[in-house]
Amino acid sequence: MQHKSPKRKARVILIHGLHQTAWVMRPLAKRLQAAGFDTYQYSYRSMRDSIKTNSARLNRWLEKNHHSDHPIDLVGHSLGGLIIRDFVTQYPKWQIGHCVTLGTPHVGSVCADYIWRLTPAIVGRSYIDALDGTVAPLPQHVTLGVIAGNRPYGLGQMFLQYHNRKLRKSDKPPLKEHLAHDGTVYIEETKIEAAADHITLPVSHTGMLVNPEVAEQTKYFLVHGVFKR
């Protein structure tokens, strides 16, 4: 069956995560473009600049390149999802359609906490007001879909394995599902009560960027405001 292009013509802004550049969002962008979406891969300095600085830069780019009457959808990976939350709060003039976050630690990142205590320079200015769990609450008018992964492969795996061992030895060991993660972010960290929908897929933190099912679910949410089940 031939895939139909989506009826909605919102521009989709794709926002990469920490220690990444815009090119990592290209596989997802290409799949969205094939389905009829107009995409833009936003590049920012995740280490040198704060989340609010990067939100402001996105706002300035839109002011120069986008009309405020034209809706936009936002898709962010990891830290990019927190930039989305800050952006939609700080700049309400834009018509926001649907937002999707991929492996974003909405309530803060245990992995980032460990790194911040050991070597703050590795997470840079992305920790304060973002990865520390203090990003602005999601506005009520924003329809957010959250995709999490449960394949534990990634650079943060060492920290999360250590943290899980500590939790298992505690007086009140957590449920097994509360220890699941994508190699960098716990599934529990991706959950936010204000989200319209949440889904967990068999992908790792970086692997989700090239996964066809993640792309399919992202496309579906951008059109329908819920994930396909």
How confident is the model over 200-212, as pLDDT tens digits?
A: 999 999 999 999 9
DSSP annotation of 7 reads S
Render pLDDT for 52-108 as a digit per residue (tens, 0 to 9): 999 999 999 999 999 888 999 999 999 999 999 999 999 999 999 999 999 999 999
Residue 1 inside a domain? The answer is no
Residue 150 inside a domain? The answer is yes
The helix (run of H) or strand (run of E) holding residue 58 is: helix 51-65
Q: Whole-prediction pTM value? A: 0.89
Residue 5 inside a domain? The answer is no
Question: Which residues share a beta bridge with 181?
Answer: 186
Q: Which amino acid would we find at residue 152?
A: P
Tokens found for residue 133: 């769990």
Count structural domains, the chain: 1
What is the domain range of residue 146?
A: 11-224
pLDDT computed for residue 175 by the predictor = 65
Tokens found for residue 44: 């920012």
Q: Is the pLDDT assigned to residue 9 strictly greater than 90?
A: no
Residue 2 inside a domain? The answer is no
Render pLDDT for 105-157 as a digit per residue (tens, 0 to 9): 999 999 888 888 888 877 888 888 899 999 999 999 999 999 999 999 877 77
Sequence-distant (≥ 6) Cβ neighbours of residue 117 within 8 angstroms: none
The CATH number of residue 49's host domain is 3.40.50.1820
Residue 4 inside a domain? The answer is no
Sequence-distant (≥ 6) Cβ neighbours of residue 23 within 8 angstroms: 41
Q: Is the pLDDT assigned to residue 213 strictly greater than 60?
A: yes
Residue 229 inside a domain? The answer is no
Of the CA atoms within 13 Å of residue 11, those in its CB half-sphere come to: 15
pLDDT computed for residue 162 by the predictor = 64
pLDDT computed for residue 32 by the predictor = 97
pLDDT computed for residue 105 by the predictor = 97
Residue 38 inside a domain? The answer is yes
Q: Which residue has the higher pLDDT, 112 or 38?
A: 38
Residue 49 inside a domain? The answer is yes
